[in-house]
Amino acid sequence: MANSYELSDDSVVVVIGSGAGGGTLANELAQKGIDVVCLEAGGRLGLSDIVNDEDEMSGKFLWFDRRIGEGVADPHFPVWTCKTVGGTTMHWTGVALRMQEHEFRTGAVYGGVEGATFLDWPLTLEELEPYYARAESQIGVTGTHGMPFLPESNNYKVMKLGARRLGYKQFSTNNLGINSVERDGRPACQQIGFCTAGCPIGAKWSTAFSEIPSAEASGHFELRTRSMVVRINHDSTGRASGVVYVDGEGVSHEQKARIVCVAGNSVETPRLLLNSESALFPDGLANGSGHVGRHYMRHMAQAVFGLMPGPVNFHRGTQLAGIIRDEQINEPERGFVGGYNMELVQFSMPVLAERLGAGGWGQDYAAVMEQYDHFAGMLIIGEDPPEASNRITLHPTEKDHLGLPVPVVHYDFHENTRAMSEHAAAAGEAVYQAAGAERTFRTGVSASSAHNMGTCRMSERARDGVCNTWGQSHEIDNLFISDGSQMTTGGAENPTLTIVALVIRQAEFMARQMAAGVL
Amino acid sequence: MSKTGMNRRQFMDTAGRTVAGTALVLSGTSMAAGAAAAARSVDNRVAETLLRMTRLLFPHESISNAVYGEIVASLDKRAGDSADFKSLLEDGVAALDRARADTWLKLDPDDQVAVLGEQEGTAFFKEMRTATVRQLYRHRELWKLGGYEGSSVEYGGYLNRGFDDIDWLPEA
């Protein structure tokens, strides 16, 4: 039974955002008997609202509030995330990978990379492993804890043939948060092929259909939708005291809080802290170090296609059900630090037409598109170096529909990313050539990013970041970063599993501290 | 087929083709008459030029003029909503017409494509290319041509409808 808390109730934990971080954290706390108010900026979709129409679903769940991109970021739509209950778990592809041991120690392992701000996490893989296991079990990840891998699709079979012939060893249909068997009240995957438009049968995990309903059933949780948090307030000692939010009717409210957890994804989280500046925090809340908004990381992400001599029909089936992991290692002899994963991908005809060739047109382009059903494809995800100048800031004059400064997303490629991108594209094309492709294509790295991390990063020392090993901000004990913003580095892996593992661990810490009367 | 575009015979074949059930009626003398007749904001000559341009941007011989005409109709609607956009289209067509001794529509198809190539960096070209690629490959006729099958949940997905039926791949 869903609860209802008073605005003046300062005993509640306020969680901002209901996605992989916020939704999971809220449920973890609620299951422990801790009262949570979760404020979600977007509306709520049910399974019946999900249709196999990418345009229609984009309209229903993407974050379209104004953002300004600079550098190589798309000027009008620099970031591809969601505004809906469940956050970007409504849109995600389901890829659920653990980061590698060396990716937590990039300061030590990669050495000094000029212009990059690599730093060791205040956390090791070993410490996170039990939480990765919990996260995999909770989500239901194929190839882990007894959940079978998804079966091999046509697109995967092409990739596998190429991988084998090149001598790659580590390939599978991928670790996916998508049921291969009926589990946890959700059906098995039917190879519908519209994962990123939302899974209409709920086979793909989303907090919207798992954690949020579980939290509501706990009796310790209230979800308020269409509630955009615009400011975090603090008391005279600098402790977070509550949050101001604007509801669906445009009315402002202040919800008091015992603890505030920010999980708005990597643009909104730092933006909220910056917008919460005060006399005590002139550079933004918890920003004495100056790192709020900085070290914004994406992934090197590009698609490579092979035009095969026979039909593949790659649209038939789970979009990212395949992976080659051999290149994920750190091997500076290749000309860059960090590694990349080659993940199966399929696109609808409209999406392929737009992404295939930047600015391409004419006889050849049309002839290639007529062979849509002969396409095989992969998406290559690689580690992106953090840079202090890649950051989220507030526009000095432009305001949004609520009168708040519009966020500016500045992102430039590091040389490392350019070198990695070239190597990865060549490797992807080699896979398809080895499989017998007549032609190969590479799309180049996307200007609008779906993987966004690092803007309120963890650090051992307060001067190097925003929060500690628990995601607890260095400056304010009862203010937590609870999304991918806390990631010190991005690794070569899609971020969702790491975000879920981190907040499961964060919830344990928070509960211990609350029980001890410290928080 | 030359890599710069259709040859004259292919152009004429396409111009003569009509499609049953289309809302746009095509005359025997002008393949663009249908699109032109529907145009409300831009004049007939501009509409004819835009129609020819959409087809040269992404030429599919077996796709009817009606499909390309729908794109021109939506461009025309945008021109009706925005004076700036109307100017963009009209100025863009004027630039095409100035590129050679004759107006663009009177040129040989190879020359028409060459002129488009010269205009590639312009805002007009980029708008036309983006609008055409987005609308064309959302059209069911293109889906049929390319083999894209669209929505699948109502059929139970592809689990039992060929997601793994590839049968021509050699062994590893």
The pLDDT tens digits of the residues spanning B5-63 come to 333 333 333 333 333 223 333 333 344 455 555 678 999 999 999 999 999 999 999 99
CB-CB under 8 Å, A316 with B149: yes
Average pLDDT, chain A: 97
Region A482-500 average pLDDT:
98
CB-CB under 8 Å, B142 with A349: yes
Confidence class for position B2, pLDDT limits 50, 70, 90: very low
pLDDT at residue A447, rounded to an integer: 84
Q: How far away is chain A from the Cα of B36, in angstroms, using its nearest Cα?
A: 23
Task: Return the percentage of chain A with pLDDT > 90, whole number.
Answer: 97
Region B149-162 average pLDDT:
97
Q: Which of A152, A190, A373 sits opposite B156 (nearest CB)?
A: A190
Q: Which two tokens stand for residue A315?
A: 């649209």
Asked whether the whole model's pTM tops 0.80, one would answer yes
pLDDT tens string A273-282 = 999 999 999 9
The H or E element that residue A70 is part of is: strand A68-71
pLDDT at residue A2, rounded to an integer: 59
Percentage helix, strand, coil for chain A under 3-state DSSP, each rounded to 5: 30, 20, 50
Q: Which of A152, A190, A431 to mutate to test the interface with B (most CBs of B within 10 A)?
A: A190
pLDDT tens string A246-289 = 999 999 999 999 999 999 999 999 999 999 999 999 999 999 99
* Residue of chain A whose alpha carbon sits nearest to that of B163: A316
pLDDT tens string B98-129 = 999 999 999 999 999 999 999 999 999 999 99
Complex-level ipTM: 0.93
Does B172 contact A at CB distance below 8 Å?
Answer: yes
| A168-182, A350-364, B13-27, B36-50: segment of lowest average pLDDT | B13-27
Q: Is the pLDDT of residue A431 over 80?
A: yes
- Nearest CA to A449 out of A65, A59, A81, A57 is that of A81
The H or E element that residue A391 is part of is: strand A391-399
Amino acid making up residue B139: H
CB-CB under 8 Å, B162 with A313: yes
Q: Is the pLDDT of residue A159 over 60?
A: yes
Rg, C-alpha atoms of chain B: 19
Query: Checking phi first, is residue A87 left (phi over 0); if not, alpha (psi -120 to 50) or beta?
Result: left
The answer to whether the beta carbons of residues A510 and A259 sit under 8 Å apart is yes
SS3 at position A362: coil
On chain A, the residues whose CB falls within 8 A of the CB of B128 are none
State the count of interchain CB pairs (< 8 A) between A and B: 141
The answer to whether the beta carbons of residues A496 and A96 sit under 8 Å apart is yes
**Could you give the CA distance from residue A400 to residue A72 in angstroms, rounded to a whole number?**
22
pLDDT tens string A195-243 = 999 999 999 999 999 999 999 999 999 999 999 999 999 999 999 999 9
On chain B, the residues whose CB falls within 8 A of the CB of A359 are 120, 126, 129
pLDDT tens string A132-157 = 999 999 999 999 999 999 999 999 99
Cβ-in-10-Å burial (0-12, 13-18, 19+) of A239 comes to middle
Chain A 44-63, residues with CB within 8 Å of chain B CB atoms: 51-53, 55
CB-CB under 8 Å, B138 with A315: no
On chain A, the residues whose CB falls within 8 A of the CB of B156 are 190
Q: Which two tokens stand for residue A138?
A: 């909770």
Does B121 contact A at CB distance below 8 Å?
Answer: no
> Which residue's entry shows tokens 């809340």?
A285
Q: What DSSP line would sit under A235-260, residue for residue?
A: -TTS-EEEEEEE-TTS-EEEEE-SEE
CA atoms within 13 A on the CB side of B121: 1
Strands A252-256 and A240-246: antiparallel
Region A116-135 average pLDDT:
98
Helix B83-98 to helix B44-57 angle (10° resolution) is: 70
Q: Which of A56, A165, A166, A349 to mutate to test the interface with B (most CBs of B within 10 A)?
A: A349
CA atoms within 13 A on the CB side of B60: 25
**For residues A112 and A114, which has the higher predicted lDDT (pLDDT)?**
A114
pLDDT at residue A135, rounded to an integer: 98
On chain A, the residues whose CB falls within 8 A of the CB of B136 are 353
- Quote the distance between the C-alpha of residue B49 and its chain's center: 11
The H or E element that residue A171 is part of is: strand A171-172
CB-CB under 8 Å, B165 with A52: no
pLDDT at residue B35, rounded to an integer: 55
How far, CA to CA in Å, does A510 sit from each of A160, A364, A401, A462, A513?
A: 44, 59, 35, 19, 5
pLDDT at residue B37, rounded to an integer: 54
Average pLDDT, chain B: 83
Q: How far away is chain A from the Cα of B145, in angstroms, using its nearest Cα?
A: 6
- Nearest CA to B159 out of A371, A400, A188, A426 is that of A188
> Which residue's entry shows tokens 């894209």?
B148
pLDDT at residue A446, rounded to an integer: 84
Does B143 contact A at CB distance below 8 Å?
Answer: yes
Amino acid making up residue B86: K
pLDDT at residue A358, rounded to an integer: 75
Region A463-471 average pLDDT:
98
How far, CA to CA in Å, does A386 sit from each of A101, A154, A421, A480?
A: 18, 37, 16, 21
Q: Which of A153, A192, A200 sits opposite B164 (nearest CB)?
A: A153
The answer to whether the beta carbons of residues A346 and A334 sit under 8 Å apart is no
pLDDT at residue B24, rounded to an integer: 32
Q: Which of B126, B166, B172 sits opposite A164 (nearest CB)?
A: B172
On chain B, the residues whose CB falls within 8 A of the CB of A315 are 148-149
**Could you give the CA distance from residue B94 to residue A269 in angstroms, rounded to a whole number?**
49
pLDDT tens string A8-17 = 999 999 999 9
Region A27-50 average pLDDT:
98
On chain A, the residues whose CB falls within 8 A of the CB of B59 are 362-363, 366
CB-CB under 8 Å, B163 with A191: yes
Helix A20-31 to helix A496-515 angle (10° resolution) is: 30
Q: In what order do the strands lie in the sheet with A375-382?
A: A171-172, A323-324, A340-344, A375-382, A300-307, A439-442
Region B73-85 average pLDDT:
96
| A224-238, A349-363, A372-386: segment of lowest average pLDDT | A349-363
Which residues 6+ apart lie within 8 Å of B124 measured at CB? B88, B89, B91, B92, B95
